[in-house]
Structure 1
Amino acid sequence: MTDDAIDALFRAAEAARAHAYAPYSRFAVGAALVTPDGAVHAGCNVENAAYPVGACAEAGAISAMVAGGSRAIAAILVLGDGEGLCTPCGACRQRIREFGAEDTPIIVAGPEGVRRRFTLGELLPVSFGPENLARG
């Protein structure tokens, strides 16, 4: 991925994160993904008083992608605060797997910029995906 492409994802995640609804954790997260055709989709976390009914930022971005008619993730960036890395949770790793491949880049960022890059295979090794299901 080019620096310009990563910057575009960062800006989209930052804009989405500004709209996060996180009154309980006070941990706002934004995510943005790009499809193979260059479309960018973003999402933010939305908490709920009835834990764990909330939605992760990555799930929001993936939902926006699917609603927009796309079915493949070329790369995804996740933006969160704090000292630690804001990597996708286990459920979101599986959501990304549904539309990504082992080599799909997952870029983890903080307000200052990119902190670390992974592939989906690094974060979800030996994964179960659509090809594991018999289609008939």
Structure 2
Amino acid sequence: SSFGRNLGIVFQITDDLIGIIGDSKITKKPVGNDIREGKKSLPIILAIKKAKGKNRKMIMRVFGNSKASKQQIRLAVNIIRSLGVEEEVRNMTLKYAQQAEKSLRTYTGSAKNEVISLLDFVIKRRL
């Protein structure tokens, strides 16, 4: 269904964002872990596309580099944040969430409310 597809997209791109800038105390994974692992996720693609000059070089230097230091990863994460990637990804998740919710218009009752609660939870997952 349209709802399931859009919910899946919201979940995945939120998860990708968490994998880059998430709080390690919450995620139980090191900050920027997905950068070090070289995961080609939407936030990384956006960051590489938006970054210029030395900022782009820094992101590329640590992307997929298992030997990148914590300091290098932290710098890359700060660059990604400064590029507005988090806000751009969050706006995308809201668009997909709106599409998901729109697909439920014909449904009624508690099941609809539970599914909307699930969607709300996925959108608001902690970074």
How would you bin the TM-score normalised by the shorter chain? under 0.3
Q: Which has the higher strand share?
A: 1
- Taking structure 2 as the reference length, what is the TM-score of the superposition? 0.25
- Taking structure 1 as the reference length, what is the TM-score of the superposition? 0.24
Higher relative contact order (CA 8 A, sep 6+): 2
Which structure has the greater CA radius of gyration?
A: 2
